[in-house]
């Protein structure tokens, strides 16, 4: 049996919110969406876990994505500094072999 097409996230959110509001049961939502109750239950669980994670993180610190980006910026800044030092060394080495640079003042 072929796997049904993926539901858009907005549709999953609408279904989960209607369940949480008490408008429909998990079974009714699954029947209407033509998916298994297990799928709808998984959507509900994922929704609630993500919400809980957001409340736990709160304003206490940067998100995981922000931490990843900050680490990447640090790494790239360090690499840029190392490259600048290498360029200076190469220039000094070239000046020693070729004489003073015409562009240096």
Residue 49 lies inside a defined structural domain of this protein: yes
Question: DSSP string covering 12-67, please?
Answer: HHHHHHHHHTTSS-HHHHHHHHTS-HHHHHHHHHHHHHHHHHHHHHTTTS--HHHH
Tokens read off for 41: 């239950």
Verify that 72 and 52 share a domain, yes or no: no
Residue 94 lies inside a defined structural domain of this protein: yes
> Which range of residues forms the domain containing residue 81?
62-100
In 3D space, the residue among 54, 35, 46, 44 whose CA is nearest the CA of residue 14 turns out to be 44
pTM given for the model: 0.51
Which tens digits make up the pLDDT trace of 39-94? 999 999 999 988 887 777 666 666 788 889 999 999 999 999 999 999 999 988 88
Tokens read off for 36: 């298994």
Residue 69 lies inside a defined structural domain of this protein: yes
Which tens digits make up the pLDDT trace of 45-58? 999 988 887 777 66
Number of domains in the chain: 2
Residue 92 lies inside a defined structural domain of this protein: yes
Verify that 53 and 69 share a domain, yes or no: no
């Amino acid at each position: 049996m072929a796997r049904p097409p993926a539901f858009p996230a907005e549709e999953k959110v609408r279904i989960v919110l209607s369940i949480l509001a008490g408008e429909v049961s998990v079974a009714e939502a699954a029947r209407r969406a033509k998916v298994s109750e297990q799928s709808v239950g998984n959507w509900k669980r994922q929704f609630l876990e993500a919400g809980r994670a957001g409340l736990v993180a709160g304003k206490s610190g940067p998100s995981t994505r922000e931490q990843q980006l900050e680490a990447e910026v640090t790494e790239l800044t360090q690499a840029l500094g190392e490259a600048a030092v290498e360029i200076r060394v190469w220039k000094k080495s070239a000046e020693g072999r070729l004489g003073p640079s015409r562009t240096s003042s």
